[in-house]
Structure 1
Amino acid sequence: MLSQGFRKPLVAVSLTALLTGCQATPNAELRGTGDLGVVVERATGSLAVVDTSEHRLLARVEGLGDLSHASVKFSRDARYAFVFGRDGGLSRVDLLTGTITHRVMQSGNSIGGAISQDGSLVAVANYEPGGVRLFDSETLEPVANIPATYRDEAGQEQRSKVVGLVDAPGNRFVYSLFEADAIHVVNMSGKTPEVTRFTDIGEAPYDALIGPNGRHYIAGLFGEDGLVLLDLWHLEDGVQRILPDYGRGEARLPVYKMPHLEGWAMAGGEAWLPAVGRHEVLVADTDNWSLTGRISVHGQPIFVMRRPDERQVWVNFAHPNNDVVQVIDTERREVVATLSPGEAVMHMEFTPRGEQVWISARDSDRVVIYDTRTLEEVARLPSESPSGIFFTDRAHRIGL
């Protein structure tokens, strides 16, 4: 057992270290970041920093450029938000001080990004020029540039738009090439990128996700029915086609907005996903990836997201049916509620344990918060054209 005399110097050293850390950032509020989040305000190019426990706005960070299709990732310590703007801007925002610490214009048109498993790298998916660029997460200094090249029918080298970029275990990044009908896996565990390419995977992959354990990468196809699956434990097996015939014999409706696969639900050994060009949520067995159910919904699904306990799936929709959200009971496999948060519902985000969900209603200039058990509204926050909502618990989840 330690003596009292031995304990005191340890306490003194600890306090000195704490005070030194506080002095390094004198303007930062001394608080944890676990109940923080951000709301993208697309019309003003700003980011609202929010407290998810107290339902209040803490700060508004401006000067982030074109946020019309922005996404956000968080640093390993959940203090910094990396904002990926549509104009190619990459910004690092300090959530405690409400300031931009670093910002680079890294391309002409980008669509999202990812953080490496060890937190040291930030990857950005670019439309123009097509490819992936990697940056140091502390400084945003460039680390690597990986063009998304392919050969067209005439044999000419072209650049493809990059979509569905996710992080994977082993400091890897995985993404799809829209025009090239391909998937690339980039290994960054060494000093230089090692790229593994899979071609002819299917027509026009438009988005993708990675399972919560980081093993399966799944890309949706816009040019044909079905999805493709890549087992990251066994790259030697190549790409597997799944759900190839879910729309056989049915006419596809006009597609007003592409579904988003990131965030779609893995619940109870099943995958719940949006059907492209149909008013349906599809249910698939994740053991053999066979179609096990179809659930008719209000419109064309955009986000299909599970409550953390997997009992519910929440769905929002494309124009012109984008003023409602529907709740599906995963046990009963039926819609149990239709809610009206406001006009042009853009995104949903559950609190880490799922007791509440935050929903952005862009054209009503508000974020509405619901109790997921009672389905009653508990609060609302004013926000200028809100779109994406992102909470800091994503910092510790693969692919988010």
Structure 2
Amino acid sequence: MDRPGHIFQRLLLIALLMVGLAGCQVFTPASPSQELMGTGDLGLIIERATGSVLVINTSGHNVLGRVEGLGDLSHASVVYSRDGRYGYVFGRDGGLTKVDLLTRTVADRVIQSGNSIGGAISQDGRFVAVSNYEPGGVKVFDSETLELVMDIPATYTGAEGKTVQSKTVGLVDAPGNRFVFSLFDAGEIWTLDMSAPEPAVRRFDAGDAPYDALITPDGRHYIAGLFGEDGLSMLDLWNPEQGVTEILPDYGKGEQKLPVYKMPHLEGWAIADGRAFFPAVGRHQVLAAKMDDWSLVDRIPVQGQPVFVMASPDNRQIWVSFAHPKNDVVQVIDSQSRKIIRTLEPGEAVLHMEFTPRGEEVWVSARDSNRVTVYSTRTLEPVATLDAEKPSGIFFTTRAHALGL
């Protein structure tokens, strides 16, 4: 007969074996299709002609998979959940698609309007807002379920005294769980406070035909570009009671405005060396303004009409892409000298650029060359290329932790 001490030792041994077996089960290597990974170096590339996105790894310069069935992506953009696992893709057909980057599948999808132009995710990650051309206005959805939370018609009084809806543009997230957007037809800027028990809208008069907007990295200033006039409209979100002020007025005074082949984008704007750099509408110029008083300090000549003007994360370089017909090159500007230091040729119809999180590389899409080229920001030489079907927007998961992106 076993003595009590022997019985205890045997039971202890059995318990330790069971714990060990459980540990083996926990650490069983995943199959290739279930490879464990974080999301910090992942991203999405829009394939605009096929309604698909590529899930890519920035560290490995490789494509992990393709997700299809996202509709019309001719003017698509992406925001991310706080953990970087889900990308919310805003399609031109009004589709809002939630993509799981880890499983490379569509997690959910809704058609929320007839024509959409982008969106934003709230500071706390609970709400996804979509900016619409048709029928206009902004819709807010629950980020988990994509259930509609709010429908905000962008109404105003038209020329004939009738109530009509405006196209909405320049939708960004702001501190305090707010959204800010512009009304193209009404010439207004609206804020939407989602932190209140009853979300509240405030309206501000802006300039003529705001076409896109940006928010400063500290979340204080919302700046809308104006298509109907020279200058930009700025709202100080710390002091909104002061209303909208105009900055850079008459920047094109005395110059002939050229036909605009593609509207500039302000979302990827550049701040470097204490200055803000903007694309000039209808001109072959990049404008530089002082950040303390927003006065114009320089007009940098470039080879065409700029679309994206973006600063590298270390603020040493400004990368500029262009509208048709001179859209097969990218020019790099030194932020201190404000001189062009290199002209690159990534391919035909360059549409978008995206810097890696710490800025050692920049990815550039060339739609008509069906490729994405990765450049070193140190040598300004290509280090990798990826095949893609008519690529346009490139969006890395680092956007999950940045305001206004």
Give the TM-score, by structure 2 length: 0.92
In the alignment of these two chains, the number of paired residues is 384
Q: Decide whether the 8 Å contact of 1:328 with 1:336 is kept in 2.
A: yes
Q: 1:328 is matched with which residue?
A: 333
SS in 1 for 2:118: strand
312, 315, 337: which one pairs with 1:310? 315
1:42 has 2:35 as partner: no
In the alignment, is residue 377 of structure 1 matched against residue 382 of structure 2?
Answer: yes
Structure 2 residue matching 1:393: 3-state secondary structure: helix
Q: Distance in 1 between matches of 2:118 and 2:342?
A: 32
Please list the CA deviations of residues 84-115 of structure 1 after superposition, one character each: whole Å capped at 9, or x if unmatched.
00000000000000000010000000000000
Match of 1:223 among 228, 231, 234: 228
1:338 match: 343
1:85 aligns with 2:94: no
Distance 1:121 1:255 in 2: 34
- Is 1:140 aligned with 2:146? yes
- Residue 81 of structure 2 aligns with an amino acid whose one-letter code is S
In 1, the alpha carbon distance for the partners of 2:116 and 2:135 equals 9
- Note the alpha carbon deviations across 1:260-294, whole angstroms, 9 max, x for none: 00011011211001000000000000110000001
**1:312 offset after TM fit, Å?**
0.2
Aligned twin of 2:125: 119
Q: Which amino acid aligns with 2:378?
A: R
Flag structure 1 segments of 5+ consecutive residues without an equivalent.
1-11
Equivalent position amino acid for 2:178 in 1: R
2:398 partner SS: helix
Answer yes or no: is 1:269 the counterpart of 2:274. Answer: yes
CA displacement at 1:192 relative to structure 2: 2.7
Percent identity between matched residues is 68
2:199 equivalent to 1:193: yes
Corresponding residue for residue 166 of structure 2: 160
Alignment of 1:70 with 2:62, yes or no, is no
Offset, 1:28: 4.4
Q: 1:71·1:388 contact (CA, 8 Å) conserved in 2?
A: yes
Shift of 1:29: 2.9
The C-alpha deviation readout for 1:18-51, integer Å capped at 9, x for no partner, is 959x99xx96431110000110000000000000
Q: Deviations over 1:209-248 (max 9, x none)?
A: 0000100000000000000100000011000100011000
Alignment equivalent of 2:185, drawn from 175, 179, 183: 179
Q: In structure 1, what is the equivalent of residue 100 of structure 2?
A: 94
Distance 1:118 1:203 in 2: 33
Aligned to 1:4: none
Partner-residue secondary structure (3-state), 2:108? strand
Whether the 8 Å contact between 1:29 and 1:97 is mirrored in structure 2 is no
Question: Please, which runs of 5 or more residues in structure 2 have no aligned partner?
Answer: 1-18
RMSD of aligned Cα (Å): 1.8
Q: Provide the rounded CA distance (Å) in 1 between the counterparts of 2:26 and 2:95.
A: 35
Q: Please give the per-residue CA displacement for 1:363-389, whole angstroms capped at 9, x wherever unaligned.
A: 000000000110111000000000000
- Given the two structures, how large is their TM-score scaled by the length of structure 1? 0.94
User: Which whole-Å CA distance do the structure 2 matches of 1:189 and 1:290 have between them?
Assistant: 34
2:59 aligned with 1:53: yes
* 1:252 is the counterpart of 2:250: no
Which entry has the higher C-alpha Rg, 1 or 2?
A: 2
